[in-house]
Amino acid sequence: MANRHAWMALLYLLASSAVIAKAGRDETTMLVRLRPDVKRQAAHALLDTPSTQVGELLVPGLNLYLVKVKKGRALDSALDDLGGHDEVVYAQKDHQVKLRYAPNDEKFPEQWSLHNPNGTAEIHAREAWEIVHGGGKDRAGNDVVLAVIDDGFDIKHSDLVDNIWTNPAEIPGNGIDDDGNGYVDDVHGWNSQANNGEITSARHGTHVTGIAGARGDNNKHVAGINWNAKLLPIVGSSGRTSVVAKAYGYVIAQKKLWLETGGKKGANIVVTNSSFGVDDADCEADSFPVWNDLYNEMGKLGILSAVATANEDTDVDAKGDVPSGCSSQYLVTVTNTTPNDTKTQFAGYGPKHIMLGAPGTAIWSTLPGNDVGTMSGTSMATPHVSGAIALMYSAASVSLADRYSTSPGQAALELKRLLLDSVDKLPSLANLVSTGGRLNLARAVEAAAKY
């Protein structure tokens, strides 16, 4: 039996280019959030102990530090020691985070999710594009920016290159933080693994990004959900929670700078895409508090976060999941649907935590080397939704746009409600997702335009 299980596991690895991890953790690092009034000098004094050594300030807005446990010291003991200080909001383990997509076993007509010849299972993209042709700008003429946190991006792909965000206030390659945002040479985004502006290429992130925002109507490759959205690539999905936190920290910094400078610096990020996570993990437990903090901090700035659920037939409500089992009101949690308008066998569910389905099976999109191909998983379902949110911002009515300019956090929640209220109700998704339905892009865009 053991040999049979090992053989089955090997077959699964051969069929998939990524393996989804359970809630593992790095036993040498932890994340510590300090009270806002604790300044850097005091933080270093507190966090440098016989057991621990202070590391990076991961997210300044949360006063969140990476702390290393010294050799020969126990992680649990160090957590207990730090957790007893009044200055510490919480200390948590640095959990492993893995990419999310399932084996690509079936082939379907190209981009069936956008327009299906049989008229079923699609998200009605063509009808949405009649309402807002391509998207890319909001009512005030600001770029609509979609931030993708993933493992890497081919930003020179001919179907992505024209949509990749460029930092106009940064001079490439001079080694100087020209715009004063805390990041040196972040010309096209940030690499939170390498702590520099070099955007490395990878298959998963390139494919995810193309689904959300590949250039449309250009006689090349595929069409994304929002043809003209500015795509902000951030390398940082695979590794540890601390890497993800730095990636989201970059999003927070860029949006804050955009708001503080009236759009002269930073980026008008309206949505993030996160196709990664930790299976069977309780987001509401003491060991995962930073995730909700990050989504809430982005949400207050008017940023919704579309996140993928697990790629296994698991009840997230019962077993948990990070981040799709988190409680932040700014999350939009997504599972994977098929051309038959059913949840795929390899996807999580739960009417409390998982909100809607979106096509994620055999989806055509961009691949490194100026290529295209199909991949499957909740990773592919989620950019349908993040792209939809970006397109809704492009189509937003004057009243909704005004609301966003004065109360971005509240306007983001209103747009989320419009998205969820506009799904196609499906018997196959009843009692599996909170809306009981699958994304309908046309109806969502129309709702934002008429709000």
The pair of three-digit structure tokens given for residue 433, joined into one six-digit string: 């997702």
Residue pLDDT, tens place only, 339-383:
999 999 999 999 999 999 999 998 999 999 999 999 999 999 999
Q: Is the pTM of this model over 0.85?
A: yes
Q: Count CA atoms within 13 Å of residue 355 on its CB side.
A: 28
Size of the chain in residues: 451
Q: 84 with 400: CB under 8 angstroms? A: no
Fold match between domain 25-96 and domain 125-450? no
Parallel/antiparallel/unpaired status of strands 88-99 and 190-191: unpaired
Dihedrals phi, psi of 377, to nearest 5 degrees: 140, 170
Quick one: which of 381, 312, 314, 383 has its CA closest to 350? 314
**Percent of the chain at pLDDT above 90?**
75
Q: 378 with 308: CB under 8 angstroms? A: yes
Q: Is 294 helix (H, G, I), strand (E, B) or coil?
A: helix
pLDDT at site 353:
98
pLDDT at site 110:
65
Q: Tell me the pLDDT of the chain (451 aa) as tens digits.
A: 333 333 333 333 333 333 344 455 567 899 999 999 999 999 999 999 999 999 999 999 999 999 999 988 899 999 988 988 999 999 999 988 876 643 232 322 367 577 676 667 888 888 888 888 778 899 888 999 999 999 999 999 999 999 999 999 999 999 999 999 999 999 999 999 999 999 999 999 999 999 999 988 888 888 889 989 999 999 998 779 999 999 999 999 999 999 999 999 999 999 999 999 999 999 988 789 999 999 999 999 999 999 999 999 999 999 999 999 999 999 999 999 999 999 999 999 999 999 999 999 989 999 999 999 999 999 999 999 999 999 999 999 999 999 999 999 999 999 999 999 999 999 999 999 999 999 999 999 999 999 9
pLDDT at site 206:
97
- Sequence-distant (6+) residues with CB within 8 A of 135 are 144, 226, 227, 228, 229, 390, 391, 393, 394, 395
pLDDT at site 25:
59
Domain boundaries, the chain: 25-96, 125-450
Architecture of the domain made up of 125-450:
3-Layer(aba) Sandwich (3.40)
CATH of the domain spanning 25-96, picked from 3.55.10.10, 3.30.70.80, 3.40.50.620, 3.30.1360.200: 3.30.70.80
pLDDT at site 375:
94
